[in-house]
């Protein structure tokens, strides 16, 4: 009887945790000057048990993270280099967040979520995700870096796809450390920007905004209460999918209240197809992550239009998927 491919999928937690441990312990960062190192050297650098680390390194060899040069000599591969905190294309924080204990526990409780419709994060941690991040400075910093890593990869396509020069000021709502806003301002020297987020989200904003700080205003606030009036465009990147329809509509209604007749809301989101196929696996997994972790959802184009309508907005254009990404830009204006 042939081996079922479902077994490889079911055992997918094993490589996920191997990579997570490498990211969590800083294994890639311990390779100095790009030279091969032994498990003993690496263990001393990161404070690990050398024999156990040797066994992990053998596992990471099979995943293409390291290359085994000798029985106890390993070299970091080009892909493994992305687990370094200082790599320009680092994904270390993304892996630490999404394979970390909190997200891990929410996925482990998915059966109860499917039974009840109640998202797992609050059930297993006792608080909502953003309340939890606010109470844990280290996890909050990891979350902020992870979001910046993800934004860094899609920002060029967003900037390329939309004409931001038509706005005098662009506000990035829930913009975190300003990675996206900085990319917009660098590409358009004639405009100004507003970075708006909770204080915990803005903690690291000085770095990404350093080169455009003279044109960027940092405004702490809560988009469930109000958003700044005045900008010509309000960008919400991967914000609406975090929330159920009621909360998502509340955010959009606050945007509507602050907007003038010619202003725009720009949603940077993935769009769920009406009929999924194997190539839809990425967005379907994202949707399930929202199901267990935040109570939000990935939406179809029709669902986005209904949501905008409920907030007094109308979709005027849909662009995407953007180059080398799964993201679309939904441009919305004040409804007539």
Tens digits of residue pLDDT in 142-170: 999 999 999 999 999 999 999 999 999 99
**What pLDDT score was predicted for residue 206?**
85
DSSP annotation string for 281-314? HHHHHHHHHHHHHTS---B-HHHHHHHHHHTTEE
Which amino acids are annotated catalytic? 241
- At which residue do the structure tokens 């404070």 appear? 47
pLDDT of 134 reads 87
How much is the pLDDT for 283? 97
Q: Which residue, 99, 76, 64, 72, is CA-closest to 30?
A: 76
Cβ-Cβ contacts under 8 Å for 320 (sequence gap 6 or more): 161, 271, 327, 328, 329
Report pLDDT digits (tens) over 248-294. Answer: 999 999 999 999 999 999 999 999 999 999 999 999 999 999 999 99
- What are the residue ranges in the chain where pLDDT is below 50? none
* Beta carbons of 121 and 101 less than 8 angstroms apart: no
Alpha carbons 186 and 44: distance in angstroms, whole number: 42
Is residue 204 a contact partner of residue 233, using CB atoms and an 8 Å limit? no
Answer yes or no: are the C-beta atoms of 69 and 75 closer than 8 Å: yes
pLDDT at 1: 80
CA gap 199, 140 in Å, rounded: 11
Distance separating alpha carbons of residues 3 and 219, to the nearest angstrom: 56
Distance of CA 17 to the CA centre of its chain: 19
Enumerate the β-bridge partners of residue 314. 333
Residues whose CB falls within 8 Å of the CB of residue 255, separated by 6 or more in sequence, listed in order: 173, 223, 227, 234, 236, 265, 311, 313
């Amino acid at each position: 009887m042939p081996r079922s491919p479902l077994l490889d999928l079911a055992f997918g937690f094993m490589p996920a945790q191997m990579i997570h441990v490498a990211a969590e312990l800083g294994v890639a960062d311990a390779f100095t000057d790009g030279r091969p190192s032994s498990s003993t050297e690496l263990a001393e650098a990161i404070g690990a048990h050398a024999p156990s680390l040797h066994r992990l390194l053998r596992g990471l060899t099979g995943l293409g993270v390291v290359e085994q040069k000798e029985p106890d000599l390993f070299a970091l591969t080009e892909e493994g280099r992305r687990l370094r905190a200082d790599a320009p294309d680092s994904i270390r924080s993304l892996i630490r967040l999404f394979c970390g204990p909190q997200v891990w526990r929410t996925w482990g409780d998915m059966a109860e979520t499917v039974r009840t419709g109640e998202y797992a994060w609050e059930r297993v941690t006792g608080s909502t995700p953003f309340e939890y991040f606010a109470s844990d400075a280290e996890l909050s910093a990891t979350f902020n870096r992870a979001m910046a890593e993800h934004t860094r990869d899609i920002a060029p396509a967003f900037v390329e796809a939309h004409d931001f020069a038509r706005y005098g000021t662009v506000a990035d709502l829930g913009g975190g450390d300003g990675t996206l806003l900085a990319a917009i301002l660098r590409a358009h020297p004639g405009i100004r920007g507003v970075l708006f987020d909770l204080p915990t989200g803005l903690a690291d904003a000085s770095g990404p905004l350093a080169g455009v700080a003279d044109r960027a205003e940092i405004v702490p606030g809560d988009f469930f209460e109000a958003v700044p009036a005045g900008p010509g465009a309000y960008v919400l990147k991967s914000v609406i999918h975090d929330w159920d329809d009621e909360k998502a509509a509340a955010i959009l209604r606050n945007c509507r209240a602050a907007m003038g007749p010619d202003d725009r809301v720009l949603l940077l989101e993935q769009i769920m197809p009406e009929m999924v196929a194997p190539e839809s696996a990425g967005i379907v997994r994202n949707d399930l992550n929202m199901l267990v972790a935040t109570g939000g959802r990935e939406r179809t184009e029709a669902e986005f239009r209904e949501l905008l309508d409920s907030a007094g907005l109308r979709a005027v254009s849909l662009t995407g998927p953007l180059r080398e990404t799964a993201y679309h830009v939904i441009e919305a204006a004040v409804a007539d």
